[in-house]
Amino acid sequence: MAHPFYPAAAFIFGYLLGSIPFGLVLTRLAGTQDLRTIGSGNIGATNVLRTGRKGLAAATLILDALKGTVAVLIAAHFCGREVALFAALGAFLGHLFPVWLKFQGGKGVATFIGLLIALVWQAALVFCLVWLAVALITRYSSLAALVASLVTIAFLWFGKYPHEAELFALLTVLMWAKHHANIRRLVAGTEGKIGRP
Protein backbone atom coordinates (compact mmCIF):
# COMPACT_ATOMS: atom_id res chain seq x y z
CA MET A 1 0.00 0.00 0.00
CA ALA A 2 1.37 3.41 -0.97
CA HIS A 3 2.29 5.89 1.73
CA PRO A 4 -0.43 8.55 2.12
CA PHE A 5 2.14 11.21 1.21
CA TYR A 6 2.84 9.71 -2.21
CA PRO A 7 -0.36 10.79 -4.00
CA ALA A 8 0.09 14.40 -2.84
CA ALA A 9 3.76 14.38 -3.84
CA ALA A 10 2.91 12.86 -7.23
CA PHE A 11 0.21 15.47 -7.80
CA ILE A 12 2.55 18.35 -6.96
CA PHE A 13 5.32 16.89 -9.11
CA GLY A 14 2.90 16.45 -12.00
CA TYR A 15 1.54 19.96 -11.57
CA LEU A 16 4.98 21.59 -11.62
CA LEU A 17 6.04 19.62 -14.68
CA GLY A 18 2.74 20.22 -16.45
CA SER A 19 2.85 23.94 -15.75
CA ILE A 20 5.98 24.49 -17.87
CA PRO A 21 4.66 26.73 -20.71
CA PHE A 22 6.72 25.30 -23.54
CA GLY A 23 4.90 27.29 -26.21
CA LEU A 24 5.73 30.56 -24.50
CA VAL A 25 9.30 29.51 -23.70
CA LEU A 26 10.07 28.36 -27.25
CA THR A 27 8.60 31.42 -28.94
CA ARG A 28 10.49 33.74 -26.62
CA LEU A 29 13.74 31.91 -27.31
CA ALA A 30 13.00 32.21 -31.03
CA GLY A 31 12.50 35.96 -30.68
CA THR A 32 8.85 36.10 -31.74
CA GLN A 33 6.35 38.45 -30.13
CA ASP A 34 4.62 37.41 -26.90
CA LEU A 35 2.49 34.40 -27.77
CA ARG A 36 -0.32 35.70 -25.57
CA THR A 37 -0.76 38.69 -27.89
CA ILE A 38 -1.20 36.54 -31.00
CA GLY A 39 -4.42 34.97 -32.28
CA SER A 40 -6.36 33.40 -29.42
CA GLY A 41 -3.68 34.32 -26.88
CA ASN A 42 -3.38 30.63 -25.99
CA ILE A 43 0.02 29.11 -25.15
CA GLY A 44 -0.56 25.84 -27.04
CA ALA A 45 0.75 24.51 -30.35
CA THR A 46 -2.21 25.75 -32.41
CA ASN A 47 -1.51 29.35 -31.46
CA VAL A 48 2.24 28.88 -31.90
CA LEU A 49 1.45 27.86 -35.48
CA ARG A 50 -0.06 31.33 -36.00
CA THR A 51 3.44 32.78 -35.63
CA GLY A 52 4.26 31.07 -38.93
CA ARG A 53 6.87 28.86 -37.26
CA LYS A 54 5.77 25.31 -38.00
CA GLY A 55 8.84 23.84 -36.34
CA LEU A 56 8.11 25.67 -33.11
CA ALA A 57 4.49 24.54 -33.23
CA ALA A 58 5.55 20.91 -33.68
CA ALA A 59 8.07 21.20 -30.85
CA THR A 60 5.41 22.72 -28.59
CA LEU A 61 2.99 19.90 -29.37
CA ILE A 62 5.60 17.25 -28.62
CA LEU A 63 6.87 18.85 -25.42
CA ASP A 64 3.37 19.57 -24.09
CA ALA A 65 2.55 15.90 -24.63
CA LEU A 66 5.83 14.62 -23.21
CA LYS A 67 5.54 16.57 -19.97
CA GLY A 68 2.41 14.57 -19.22
CA THR A 69 4.00 11.30 -20.28
CA VAL A 70 7.14 11.90 -18.22
CA ALA A 71 5.20 12.92 -15.10
CA VAL A 72 3.17 9.71 -15.18
CA LEU A 73 6.07 7.38 -16.00
CA ILE A 74 8.27 8.75 -13.22
CA ALA A 75 5.47 8.58 -10.66
CA ALA A 76 4.57 5.06 -11.76
CA HIS A 77 8.19 3.93 -11.53
CA PHE A 78 8.67 5.13 -7.97
CA CYS A 79 5.17 4.89 -6.50
CA GLY A 80 3.04 2.59 -8.66
CA ARG A 81 0.32 3.00 -11.26
CA GLU A 82 -2.44 4.14 -8.89
CA VAL A 83 -0.31 6.98 -7.56
CA ALA A 84 0.66 7.85 -11.14
CA LEU A 85 -2.97 8.82 -11.77
CA PHE A 86 -2.51 11.68 -9.31
CA ALA A 87 0.55 12.81 -11.25
CA ALA A 88 -1.56 12.72 -14.42
CA LEU A 89 -4.22 14.92 -12.88
CA GLY A 90 -1.57 17.30 -11.61
CA ALA A 91 0.14 17.56 -14.99
CA PHE A 92 -3.13 18.32 -16.76
CA LEU A 93 -4.14 20.97 -14.23
CA GLY A 94 -0.63 22.42 -14.42
CA HIS A 95 -0.96 22.89 -18.16
CA LEU A 96 -4.44 24.40 -17.92
CA PHE A 97 -3.71 26.57 -14.87
CA PRO A 98 0.06 27.26 -14.59
CA VAL A 99 0.99 29.24 -11.52
CA TRP A 100 3.74 31.01 -13.49
CA LEU A 101 1.20 32.60 -15.87
CA LYS A 102 -1.43 33.63 -13.31
CA PHE A 103 -3.26 30.34 -13.97
CA GLN A 104 -3.91 31.22 -17.62
CA GLY A 105 -2.74 28.16 -19.54
CA GLY A 106 -3.53 26.04 -22.56
CA LYS A 107 -6.51 23.89 -23.49
CA GLY A 108 -4.84 20.59 -22.74
CA VAL A 109 -5.16 18.54 -25.93
CA ALA A 110 -1.47 17.68 -26.32
CA THR A 111 -1.04 16.94 -22.61
CA PHE A 112 -4.20 14.80 -22.71
CA ILE A 113 -2.58 12.70 -25.43
CA GLY A 114 0.70 12.51 -23.54
CA LEU A 115 -1.07 11.17 -20.46
CA LEU A 116 -2.85 8.56 -22.55
CA ILE A 117 0.48 7.44 -24.03
CA ALA A 118 1.84 6.79 -20.56
CA LEU A 119 -1.26 5.10 -19.14
CA VAL A 120 -3.01 3.31 -22.03
CA TRP A 121 -1.17 3.82 -25.30
CA GLN A 122 -3.97 2.15 -27.27
CA ALA A 123 -6.33 4.87 -26.09
CA ALA A 124 -3.88 7.51 -27.33
CA LEU A 125 -3.98 5.84 -30.73
CA VAL A 126 -7.78 5.85 -30.69
CA PHE A 127 -7.81 9.54 -29.77
CA CYS A 128 -5.46 10.43 -32.62
CA LEU A 129 -7.37 8.35 -35.19
CA VAL A 130 -10.71 9.86 -34.20
CA TRP A 131 -9.21 13.35 -34.18
CA LEU A 132 -7.82 12.79 -37.67
CA ALA A 133 -11.11 11.42 -39.01
CA VAL A 134 -13.23 14.25 -37.61
CA ALA A 135 -10.70 16.88 -38.68
CA LEU A 136 -10.60 15.53 -42.23
CA ILE A 137 -14.40 15.47 -42.47
CA THR A 138 -15.23 18.78 -40.78
CA ARG A 139 -11.94 20.75 -40.95
CA TYR A 140 -12.52 21.81 -37.34
CA SER A 141 -9.55 21.08 -35.07
CA SER A 142 -11.45 21.96 -31.91
CA LEU A 143 -14.42 19.74 -32.76
CA ALA A 144 -12.06 16.89 -33.56
CA ALA A 145 -10.46 17.14 -30.12
CA LEU A 146 -13.80 17.35 -28.33
CA VAL A 147 -15.23 14.32 -30.11
CA ALA A 148 -12.02 12.34 -29.67
CA SER A 149 -12.02 12.98 -25.93
CA LEU A 150 -15.52 11.49 -25.59
CA VAL A 151 -14.64 8.43 -27.66
CA THR A 152 -11.55 7.96 -25.50
CA ILE A 153 -13.62 7.75 -22.32
CA ALA A 154 -15.83 5.08 -23.90
CA PHE A 155 -12.78 3.14 -25.09
CA LEU A 156 -11.23 3.19 -21.61
CA TRP A 157 -14.46 2.19 -19.90
CA PHE A 158 -15.35 -0.69 -22.19
CA GLY A 159 -11.69 -1.67 -22.38
CA LYS A 160 -11.76 -2.43 -18.65
CA TYR A 161 -9.77 0.57 -17.49
CA PRO A 162 -12.31 1.99 -15.01
CA HIS A 163 -9.93 4.17 -13.00
CA GLU A 164 -8.42 5.67 -16.13
CA ALA A 165 -11.91 6.18 -17.58
CA GLU A 166 -12.94 8.12 -14.48
CA LEU A 167 -9.79 10.23 -14.60
CA PHE A 168 -10.16 11.07 -18.28
CA ALA A 169 -13.85 11.81 -17.84
CA LEU A 170 -12.78 14.53 -15.41
CA LEU A 171 -10.03 15.74 -17.75
CA THR A 172 -12.53 15.84 -20.61
CA VAL A 173 -14.87 18.05 -18.60
CA LEU A 174 -11.96 20.41 -17.97
CA MET A 175 -10.93 20.32 -21.62
CA TRP A 176 -14.46 21.12 -22.77
CA ALA A 177 -14.62 23.98 -20.28
CA LYS A 178 -11.39 25.43 -21.69
CA HIS A 179 -12.89 25.14 -25.19
CA HIS A 180 -16.02 27.12 -24.26
CA ALA A 181 -15.25 29.89 -26.75
CA ASN A 182 -14.62 27.34 -29.51
CA ILE A 183 -17.90 25.60 -28.70
CA ARG A 184 -19.79 28.88 -28.96
CA ARG A 185 -18.20 29.56 -32.35
CA LEU A 186 -18.96 26.04 -33.54
CA VAL A 187 -22.61 26.50 -32.65
CA ALA A 188 -22.64 29.91 -34.34
CA GLY A 189 -20.83 28.57 -37.41
CA THR A 190 -17.96 31.03 -37.03
CA GLU A 191 -15.20 28.68 -35.85
CA GLY A 192 -12.10 28.84 -38.02
CA LYS A 193 -11.34 25.79 -40.12
CA ILE A 194 -8.00 24.05 -40.57
CA GLY A 195 -6.01 25.64 -43.36
CA ARG A 196 -8.01 28.86 -43.30
CA PRO A 197 -7.19 32.09 -41.46
pLDDT, tens only, 55-108: 888 999 999 999 999 999 999 999 999 999 999 999 999 999 999 888 988 999
170 belongs to a structural domain: yes
Q: Is 55 exposed, middle or buried (0-12, 13-18, 19+ CB in 10 A)?
A: exposed
45 belongs to a structural domain: yes
151 belongs to a structural domain: yes
What is the number of domains present in the chain? 1
- Residue 197 has what pLDDT? 52
pTM of the model: 0.93
195 belongs to a structural domain: no
The domain in which residue 40 lies consists of: 5-188
101 belongs to a structural domain: yes
b/e code 60-70 from CB counts within 10 Å (16+ = b): bbebbbbbbbb
**Residue 196 banded pLDDT, cuts 50, 70, 90:** low
